[in-house]
């Protein structure tokens, strides 16, 4: 009885010391030691690779569109930096200069309060339902 207890205790220690991802556990859990539980040539791995390629091709156009937008945006910033568009660069410099004067003169509390009021009253300023002009009639006679 004493020998059976020590054997089961040592087996429990051996099982808990291996842990997830350790020797003999594999990625799939329960795979034989030295393998990941996936056969390279199996139909299941081919189907999952084919599924991955289909999803990638489905989203490729959208990814290219996003990259094109980012590239256009970065080219506009580069054009401002290199003075390719002089009026836009002057407008940017005027905006930076006026905002630096504003931040130097006006206390930060007031600036924060004004930006908060502006941000939170936007739904009140932009009405989603436009009313018809006063001279037109929408009802039936």
**Predicted TM-score (pTM) of this structure:** 0.43
Over the chain (141 residues), what is each successive 10-residue block's mean pLDDT? 48 45 46 50 81 90 93 93 90 95 96 94 73 58 48
* Whether the Cβ atoms of residue 33 and residue 24 lie closer than 8 Å to each other: yes
Residue 65 CB contacts under 8 Å (≥ 6 apart), including other chains: none
- 24 conformational bin, left if phi > 0, alpha if psi -120 to 50, beta if neither: left
């Amino acid at each position: 009885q004493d020998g059976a207890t020590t054997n089961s205790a040592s087996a429990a220690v051996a099982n808990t010391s291996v842990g997830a991802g350790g020797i003999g556990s594999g990625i799939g859990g329960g795979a034989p030691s030295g393998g990941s539980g996936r056969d390279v040539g199996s139909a299941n791995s081919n189907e999952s690779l084919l599924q991955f390629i289909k999803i990638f091709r489905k989203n490729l156009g959208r990814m290219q569109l996003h990259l094109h937008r980012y590239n256009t945006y970065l080219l506009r910033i580069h054009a401002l930096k290199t003075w390719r568009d002089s009026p836009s660069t002057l407008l940017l410099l005027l905006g930076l200069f006026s905002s630096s004067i504003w931040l130097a003169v006006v206390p930060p509390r007031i600036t924060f309060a004004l930006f908060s009021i502006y941000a939170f009253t936007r739904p009140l300023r932009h009405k989603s339902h436009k009313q018809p002009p006063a001279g037109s009639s929408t009802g039936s006679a």
